[in-house]
Chains A and B, each alone.
Chain A
Amino acid sequence: MLKINNLQAGIEGKQILKGIDLEVKPGEVHAIMGPNGSGKSTLSSVIAGREDYEVSAGNIDFEGEDLLDLDADERAHKGIFLSFQYPVEIPGVTVTNFIKTAINETRKARGEEPMPANIMLKKMREKMGLLEIDNTFLSRSLNEGFSGGEKKRNEIFQMAMLEPKLAILDETDSGLDIDALRIVANGVNKLKSKDNAIIVITHYQRLLDYIVPDFVHVLHKGKIVKSGDKNLAMELEERGYDWLKEGVEA
């Protein structure tokens, strides 16, 4: 599904990613861990198509197409979803209106008719139940005055509505208390299928207790320095990152 080859990218002349290789197949959950400044968020931004970042080498193949040739909205139309670490506020635009626009713009790009209002509403109700969101949520301005937990829940709600093939969860656990974390993680787990894939970006093991990864990769100084299964995450939790850093720097 996703094949990243020797990806090198940076911002304002500063190189951050120094040759990333990663393959994600349908049905898999990958966790990317690493200390602050290792390039985790840069990687998610580059996959999603944020224009501030310059790609100097490598490519990102998504179902046979090079993502780097596409704009961010076109990548979204192909089924790529990024759950933001810091979701932005859009005053005056309700959650409903935003999601409706997102779904229908995506359908338009795919040559489909807009989703009928009753089907959209039914779907919203169903997904709201999944994430324990109440009705008043829908008519609030997007992320305006939302608590940290509400913002993250809203991200996963959008993911549930848009049904992406590849979802990247960028530090979705940050700012969540343990109850919210459980709800969000349960939501994500229910959305998992053999046809879609998830990349979880996180500092901590905590989220991975709920969303269990098939693969764990450690990012350090713009490179994946170690890959393993879920046990690697446990080991990191116990030993920290230093032992890996030493390995690289030596």
Chain B
Amino acid sequence: MKTEESYLEEVTASEYKYGFYTDIEADKVPPGLNEDVIKLISAKKNEPEWMTEWRLDAYRKFLKMTEPKWPNVSYPEPDLQAISYYSAPKRKKELESLDEVDPELLKTFEKLGISLEEQKRLSGVAMDVVVDSVSVKTTFKEKLGELGIIFCSMSEAIQEHPDLVRKYLGTVVPKSDNYYAALNSAVFTDGSFCYIPKGVRCPMELSTYFRINEAGTGQFERTLVVADEGSYVSYLEGCTAPQRDENQLHAAVVELVALDDAEIKYSTVQNWYPGNKEGKGGVYNFVTKRGMCERNAKISWTQVETGSAVTWKYPSCILKGENSVGEFYSVAVTNNFQQADTGTKMIHLGKNTKSTIISKGICAGKSNGSYRGLVKIGPRAQDARNFSQCDSLLMGSSCGSHTFPYIETQNKSAKVEHEATTSKIGEDQIFYCNQRGIGEEEAIALIVNGYCKDVLNQLPMEFAVEAQKLLAISLEGSVG
């Protein structure tokens, strides 16, 4: 007879399904980090001098910083000198259609079930595909161009739209913000840039699929989204990575700028390789994501995090302008030996600013999940409001769930609410489902999806379906 323990172990023990490796020839610099490497990256990308100087300045700041130790995670410190900081697929000629895309790459997307063809046909999503740091293909660009929307790789933006990049890059996440943000500023190789002009409502979801591909290549993505006054954009970011034995470092920076009356919705599904069942391998995901809201602006972060061996990530909002709104909806799943310390910061500076935090943690196996959130109300943030709800769902009894809510208020008129619950998937719930003809795996998927509903409802339809699939895959034995 199965005990609850052995049963949960069985259904939560799922091999990483997306573990494969695409064999594309890569043009790669030797491992190591120094000013020459940074100059080399900048030169390879044919960057203007101000950009090279910007990187070097970041590097010098980085040298004076140390890795943060406050997150509730433990891991061997990555050897930054062992990483190769630049890797690009060799065939770099301009691609006009999918036929020209490396067939190996197309196969990779097919394995993921997100082939470009399918994406293009089904969802009308414009995609900027980043494989190993260089954008291979940008679709729908022309249509967006008619509206004045710029959606391209960061490298291209630096070449084609230097004024915009120079004006906003590093304004939300300064070079010296934290250790990994400084490192990213020095060595980022590519990423996405998006600009929505005044009053324009972007007619489609903008989407990027990131993949970490070449062995031993740290990936340092840089994303900048600028929504000009009165504009709207919904941006999707999704990732999976091939199976690897050594740890891979990923230290991305995402900056969002929402000017007066603008709205940015930023959704992420993250499924990088979490390491094997013994806790070997997996991606280190140390990300800085932050948005700046001007007057009446709104930024909404939605994330479904199922991957990576170690995660620390706090998509945040600076509510600078009056009446601005920040939202954070998160599902974070940890299984086996995964560790995640994630949450958000809502910094209320302007009057009548509002924020909502809905965080749903799911812990299984021997994993550890932490919610860490800061709600800060500045002295001028008259009548600021915050509502936070942090729930944890535990599966089995070898995992850990932790909540670290911080609240700092400097204005007496503020209203801050915090609710938290912890629950366990009960044998009773599973038996009840079984009795109605719903098998064990399907039952867990049903219960977990119900638990995450408030967050999944925030995702655009096609992304929500993918997210539900991911939740099922990360928590179940043989689904799919």
Contact = CB atoms under 8 A, between A and B. Distances in A.
Nearest to B7: A51
B2 interface: yes
B434 interface: yes
16 contacts: A48-B435, A49-B434, A50-B431, A51-B431, A52-B427, A73-B438, A88-B428, A93-B449, A98-B446, A101-B442, A101-B446, A102-B433, A102-B438, A106-B436, A106-B437, A162-B436
Interface in B432-460: 432-440, 442, 446-447, 449-454
Contact of B439 (A54, A105, A141, A158): A105
Contact of B435 (A52, A72, A90, A103): A72
Q: Is the interface of B mostly helix, strand, loop or mixed?
A: helix
Given A90-B429, A105-B442, A82 B451 contact: no
Interface in A49-66: 49-52, 54
A84 interface: yes
Contacts of A162: 436-437
A51 B435 contact: no
Interface string A74-86: 0011000110100
Contacts of A97: 446
A101 B449 contact: no
| Range, interface on chain A | 20 to 34
B144 to A, nearest CB: 36
A91 interface: yes
Contacts of A48: 435
B1 interface: yes
Interface residues of B, number: 25
A82 B442 contact: no
A92 interface: yes
Interface string B416-433: 000000000011110111
A51 B453 CA distance: 29
B428 A92 contact: no
A71 interface: yes
A196 B429 CA distance: 27
B447 A72 contact: no
A87 interface: yes
B1 A92 contact: no
A72 to B, nearest CB: 4
Interface string A186-223: 00000000000000000000000000000000000000
Contact of A92 (B434, B436, B451): B451
B382 to A, nearest CB: 36
Given A105-B439, A105-B442, A72 B451 contact: no
A162 B436 CA distance: 8
Interface in B218-259: none
B361 to A, nearest CB: 15
A35 to B, nearest CB: 25
